[in-house]
Amino acid sequence: MDSRLRRTLADDAGSTPVEFLLVGIVLTFLTLGVLQFGFALYVRNVVHDAAVEGAYVAALADTTPAAGVDRTREIVARAVGAQYTTDIAVRETTTVGGPTIELSVRATLPLVGLFGVPGTLEVTAHAPAESFD
């Protein structure tokens, strides 16, 4: 009986599919995690670039701050979708001795696929305000 039990425990027939399945699951989740991280980074970069572009548009002498908000919303909607931008705020401030435009964007950071928690990503951009004076 002892030798039969030893032979049964030492036999590794059929273990290859199980090993393949276990390694395949780990590699699949690792690949999906890397893709999700890349997508979240892409959304962050798009929102940041849209905020910078919107701040520069709002800072032009012949436009209004609302034009910067519209431009920011348009860029984010075109690149990743309108549902990602939850709040855009623009205000005039003074930094380093000159008037500047500050544009803040709160957006959804995708955590699982396209879904995430709204307002978890916040980006702020500044641009020097132009004038005709």
- Write down the pLDDT at residue 1: 66
Q: In this predicted model, which residue has the larger pLDDT, 2 or 68?
A: 68
Q: Could you report the per-residue pLDDT of 62-85, keeping only the tens digit for each? A: 999 999 999 999 999 999 988 888
Which residues make Cβ contacts (< 8 Å) with residue 117, sequence separation at least 6?
A: 108, 109, 111
Global confidence as pTM = 0.81
Model confidence at 105, in pLDDT bands (50, 70, 90)?
Answer: very high
- Write down the pLDDT at residue 82: 87
Q: For 25-66, give the secondary structure using H, E and C.
A: HHHHHHHHHHHHHHHHHHHHHHHHHHHHHHHHHHHCCCCCHH
